[in-house]
Amino acid sequence: MSMLKEFKQFLLRGNVVDLAVGVVVGAAFGTLVTALVSDLLTPFIAAVAKVPDFGDLSFTLNGSKFMYGHFINTVISFLLVASAIFFFVVKPMNVLIARSRREAPADPTTKKCPECLSEIPLDAKRCSHCTEPVV
């Protein structure tokens, strides 16, 4: 009975649950980014470049076939995925974090002398520049 209790405690610990949620959300997000790249960005690039697929590009050297087109497709796919993640996730998250971290302006520590307009400490009773009494 104590082993089941320990197992239940292990499963319900925050770290395990958080990790499980992160993996599931990460997998769903990966599917979303892959769909964005394959369904929207890649056809757009193909329409602009007028070459829908580089997979058939190759050359032969001494009987060995070098399929550089597949490599080009993989590089383009990687760049599109990285760009999609950067522009649709990283950049917006950086903006949100920057907005949330904006600090309120610090309380002023000085005031202006009414006579000579010099900056003086808030607690000053007399201006250090013109010696005028300050209220």
| 28, 72: one domain | yes
The CA distances from residue 50 to 46, 53, 71, 73, 91, in Å, are 5, 9, 18, 14, 30
| 91, 116: one domain | no
> What pLDDT score does 119 carry?
92
State the Cα–Cα distance between residues 41 and 121, nearest whole angstrom.
59
State the Cα–Cα distance between residues 79 and 31, nearest whole angstrom.
16
Quick: pLDDT tens for 65-98: 998 888 887 888 788 778 888 888 889 989 988 8
Say how many Å lie between the first and final Cα of the chain, rounded.
77
State the Cα–Cα distance between residues 27 and 37, nearest whole angstrom.
15
- In this prediction the pTM is 0.47
| 94, 69: one domain | yes
CATH number of the domain where residue 79 is located: 1.10.1200.120
| 24, 89: one domain | yes
